Structure 1
């Protein structure tokens, strides 16, 4: 059962690693061999915005972009400044994500407290059933 459930995810990852061309090739082949599958792939590509964004760029390309960002410029002062700035931005991002998590938890607590209050109010207002009935 688990291999059946995971093959679509593996296929999606495999196609994403190869880029938008792989998705288009898969769609065209699916249209040729069994058109409903091709239509389903087209609908998925549009729904997931793979047709209109660069989201399915190859990991190879993304790796090279990340490596370029951390490459030395040859100027040690600038490299130190860049490393410090990147570290500060990562810390700020982590702090912001923690802040968002606290907001979500506070919202959940408020909603749960409201639920419990409404439940208690309904229990107080409900007429008690006769014991003999």
Structure 2
């Protein structure tokens, strides 16, 4: 167990808490490896680990470190709130509102550009498909007419 993990555990932590902290320190890959080993040696252990990973939301989170996840979520929430609350300076608040409005418009324009780009790409791919299809049909007609000429 590394020193950072040992520092966060109480002195009387049981073997399960120590094992959980050890696996959390190594990330989701360690949890998955433990589950696979559990399935290999004794399938109920692997099944229990899978159930625990799903129940504790370790399976679907980006990280197994819940405290980091909560801190990140809290920081995002505070940043979002900080962007919305007034500063008390009307000139700055007007500037901020104008900048946010301008950024929103630019985002909408960019999304519209991406939509047009996707549509153009789809049309080009479709046109290429139709050209290849018509080339294949023309080649098949030519081959058929050559065979008819040879037979005659």
Q: How many residues align?
A: 99
Segments of 4+ in structure 1 off by > 2 A? 35-45, 60-65, 127-130
Matches within 5 A, 1:20-99: 34-37=48-51, 45=61, 50-51=62-63, 61=74, 62-99=76-113
Match in the other structure for 1:117: 131
Helix, strand or coil at the partner of 1:34: helix
1:50-81 CA-to-partner distances (Å, cap 9, x unmatched) read 01899x658x7344432221110000010000
| Cα separation, 2, equivalents of 1:35 and 1:106 | 48
The Cα RMSD (Å) is: 3.9
Unmatched segments (≥5 aa) in structure 2: 1-23, 36-44, 148-152
Larger Rg: 2
TM, length-normalised to structure 2: 0.50
Structure scoring higher RCO (CA < 8 A, sep ≥ 6) equals 1
Q: Shift of the alpha carbon at 1:128?
A: 3.5
Which blocks of at least 5 consecutive residues in structure 1 are unaligned?
1-23
Distance 1:42 1:74, change over 3 A: closer
Alignment partners' CA distance in 1, 2:112 and 2:65:
29
